[in-house]
Amino acid sequence: MLERKQLKDRTQVTFVLPADSPDGPVSVVGDFNQWDPDAHPLKARGDGTRAATVVLPARGGHSFRYLAAGGHWFDDDQADGHDGTNSRITT
């Protein structure tokens, strides 16, 4: 799930997953963090989910995926689109 908050000239995007699916650590990686799995690990929230927040330029598009334990890559079903390999978000 993607949560968005419009800021003056940027968009705050929070990438949200259930706390237990998939098991183990998960990071959101994309062109906004040079595909670095250490940049945005999802952290537990009090509502039973885990999330990572990224501030992106407004009026742009970005590719991203999730990387879970064991090298398991997966997409976000609620992304704005897909480019064949990656999820896409438009800010």
Nearest to 55 by CA among 15, 12, 19: 12
User: What is the per-residue pLDDT across 24-41, written as a single tens digit (0 to 9) for each?
Assistant: 999 999 999 999 999 999
The better pLDDT of the pair 85, 27 is held by 27
User: What is the per-residue pLDDT across 36-68, written as a single tens digit (0 to 9) for each?
Assistant: 999 999 999 999 999 999 999 988 999 999 999
Give the domain ranges of the chain.
2-84
Contacts of 28 (CB under 8 A, 6+ apart): 15, 40, 42, 52, 54, 64, 65, 66, 67
Q: Which two tokens stand for residue 56?
A: 């992106």
Write the DSSP symbol of residue 24. Answer: S
How high is the mean pLDDT of the chain? 94
Q: Which two tokens stand for residue 68?
A: 């879970």
Domain 2-84 coded CATH 3.20.20.140: no
d(Cα 84, Cα 68) in Å, to the nearest integer? 20
Sign, CA dihedral 45-48-50-16, equals negative
